[in-house]
């Protein structure tokens, strides 16, 4: 009885510690985004903020805002454009990557063709290559095509860097599917393509969703790639814009944290609503 009790206490303490460790930094980010500028220099420790303001969010989300008593232009146009850029490039990269991986991975698993294993091995190996190894030649190549600071250019770079992981995940999905279903369809005279589209892909849906989630999260959080390939607001994403609040005159921590809190909404929604697929994807990615 007492041994069980001790066990329960240990487990409970462990859970509490994990919750604090995982959520406390986010809580501080939220608190500082809601703290009035005057209180930001307050050096006292408060677990709960004494005063709450939405000034920072107003600066980000409304057309004008009040700064030191004056009506000034807010950062909303920039913030809006960067949010749109983040969404467009992340979604485009996700759709293209998942499509390519859905069909390509099937070929790598089920169809025999020349150079199959060499190609797959080389592609997977690129996961270990740091982005900076390809950055300069890639920049020159895309600049030659006039694709720097365009949605097409940034999306292409995203696809090339997230495709290996997507292929890897989809391979383990297809490998775990029984061949008998496909064979039955072939026996009935269905073509390979018909079988893939009408039978295999629907069954692989959870795996496709997991792959899409991981790709989207990777693209949404990207910093190094757009730092180089998105120099202006034409394609500049939130991640790059937020860091620019740092260098403007002084560090506006409240504004930065407010922008950060808004930028984490899409990943937050994914974790809350698609957690099941996310976890299965992470687990599948680690299986052999």
Partner 1 sequence: MLNRSMSGRQRKSKQSEAQLGLLLALPIALVMILLVFFPVCVTMWDSLHRVDPMRSGTPFIGLQHYWELFEDQSVRTAAFNTSAYVLFTVVLETTFGVLVALLLDYINVGRKWLLGIIILPWALPPIVNALIWLWIYNPNNGVLNNFLLSSGLIDERHIWMNDRSTALILISLVHVWRMMPLTAVIILAALQSIPKELYEAADLDGASIWRKFKNITLPLISGALAIALTQSTLFAFNLFDEAWVLSGASQDTRTVLIQVYMSAFQDMHFSYGMALSVVVMFVSLSVSLFYVLKIYRETRFD
- What DSSP string describes 99-141? HHHHHHHHHHHH---TTHHHHHHHHHHGGGS-HHHHHHHHHHH
Per-residue DSSP letter, 198: I
Q: Interaction with partner 1 in 52-91: which residues (CB under 8 A)?
A: none
Lookup: tokens for 35: 């703290």
In the complex, least distance from residue 51 CB atom to partner 1, rounded to whole angstroms: 15
| Cβ 29 vs Cβ 260: under 8 Å | yes
- Is position 23 an interface residue for partner 1 (rule: CB under 8 A)? yes
In the complex, least distance from residue 167 CB atom to partner 1, rounded to whole angstroms: 7
In the complex, least distance from residue 223 CB atom to partner 1, rounded to whole angstroms: 5
- Is position 125 an interface residue for partner 1 (rule: CB under 8 A)? yes
In the complex, least distance from residue 226 CB atom to partner 1, rounded to whole angstroms: 10
In the complex, least distance from residue 44 CB atom to partner 1, rounded to whole angstroms: 7
CA distances from 160 to 4, 94, 101 (A): 52, 11, 11
- Is position 220 an interface residue for partner 1 (rule: CB under 8 A)? yes
- Is position 268 an interface residue for partner 1 (rule: CB under 8 A)? yes
- What DSSP string describes 245-272? HHHSSS--HHHHHHHHHHHTHHHHHHHH
Judged by CB under 8 A, how many residues of this single chain contact partner 1? 89
- Is position 242 an interface residue for partner 1 (rule: CB under 8 A)? yes
Lookup: tokens for 99: 């499509």
In the complex, least distance from residue 278 CB atom to partner 1, rounded to whole angstroms: 7
Closest CA to 101 of 284, 268, 274: 284
* Sole window of 62-70, 171-179, 202-210, 251-259 interacting with partner 1 (rule: CB under 8 A): 251-259
* Sole window of 50-58, 77-85, 170-178, 218-226 interacting with partner 1 (rule: CB under 8 A): 218-226
Site mask for partner 1 (CB under 8 A), range 158-187, x = bound: -xxx-xx--x--------------------
Distance CA 212, CA 101 (A): 10
| Cβ 231 vs Cβ 149: under 8 Å | yes
- Is position 5 an interface residue for partner 1 (rule: CB under 8 A)? no
């Amino acid at each position: 009885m007492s041994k069980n009790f001790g066990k329960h206490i240990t487990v409970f303490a462990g859970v509490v510690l994990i919750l604090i460790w995982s959520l406390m930094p986010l809580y501080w980010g939220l608190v500082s985004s809601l703290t009035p500028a005057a209180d930001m220099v307050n050096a006292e420790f408060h677990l709960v903020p004494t005063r709450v303001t939405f000034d920072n969010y107003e600066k980000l989300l409304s057309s004008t805002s009040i700064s030191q008593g004056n009506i000034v232009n807010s950062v909303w146009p920039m913030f809006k454009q960067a949010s749109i850029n983040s969404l467009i490039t992340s979604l485009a990269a996700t759709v293209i990557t998942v499509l390519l991986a859905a069909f390509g991975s099937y070929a790598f698993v089920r169809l025999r063709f020349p150079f199959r294993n060499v190609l797959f091995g080389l592609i997977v190996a690129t996961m270990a290559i740091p982005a900076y190894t390809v950055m300069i030649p890639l920049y020159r190549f895309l600049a030659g095509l006039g694709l720097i600071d365009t949605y097409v250019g940034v999306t292409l770079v995203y696809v090339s860097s997230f495709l290996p992981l997507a292929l890897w995940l989809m391979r383990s999905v297809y490998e775990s599917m029984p061949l008998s279903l496909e064979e039955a369809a072939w026996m009935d005279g269905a073509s390979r393509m018909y079988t893939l589209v009408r039978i295999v892909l629907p069954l692989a849906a959870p795996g496709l969703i997991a792959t899409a989630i991981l790709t989207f999260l990777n693209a949404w959080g990207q910093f190094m790639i757009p730092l180089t390939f998105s120099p202006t607001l034409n394609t500049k994403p939130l991640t790059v814009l937020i860091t620019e609040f740092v260098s403007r005159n002084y560090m506006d921590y409240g504004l930065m944290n407010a922008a950060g809190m808004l930028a984490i909404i899409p990943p937050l929604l994914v974790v809350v609503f698609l957690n099941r697929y996310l976890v299965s994807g992470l687990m599948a990615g680690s299986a052999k």
